[in-house]
Amino acid sequence: MTPETVTTIGRHALELTIVLMLIMVVPSLIAGLMISIFQAATQINEMTLSFIPKLIATVLVMLLAGPYLLQLITGFTLELYSSIPELIG
């Protein structure tokens, strides 16, 4: 196994992690921004008001994008397992 191979595998794993994280975090950030704008406009300063919409957005993304995220993780893992003979010898 060469250093380039290790670097390539690590880069691919980091790219996959970033994609998975962005898919989960961006909708929550958008919901938080919308609630913050609403709170600023109405001058309501309630901490739980921003928590519940973020939680709902995250759960909805997990329900809708869950199979796709699982497919990405499974594909990476299967690709990694299938390349073990090439990596060893």
Q: Tens digits of per-residue pLDDT, 15-67?
A: 999 999 999 999 999 999 999 899 889 888 887 788 888 999 999 999 999 99
Work out the pLDDT band at 2, boundaries 50, 70, 90: confident
Work out the pLDDT band at 68, boundaries 50, 70, 90: very high
In the three-class reduction of DSSP (H, G, I as helix; E, B as strand; rest coil), residue 30 is classed as helix
Contact between residue 32 and residue 58 where contact means Cβ atoms under 8 Å apart:
no
Q: Which amino acid is at 87?
A: L
Q: Model pTM?
A: 0.77
Backbone torsions φ then ψ of 6, nearest 5 degrees:
-60, -40
Work out the pLDDT band at 87, boundaries 50, 70, 90: confident
**Helix, strand, coil percentages in the chain from 3-state DSSP, rounded to 5:** 90, 0, 10
For residue 39, which of 27, 51, 26 has the smallest C-alpha distance? Answer: 51
Q: Where are the domains of the chain?
A: 15-39+48-88
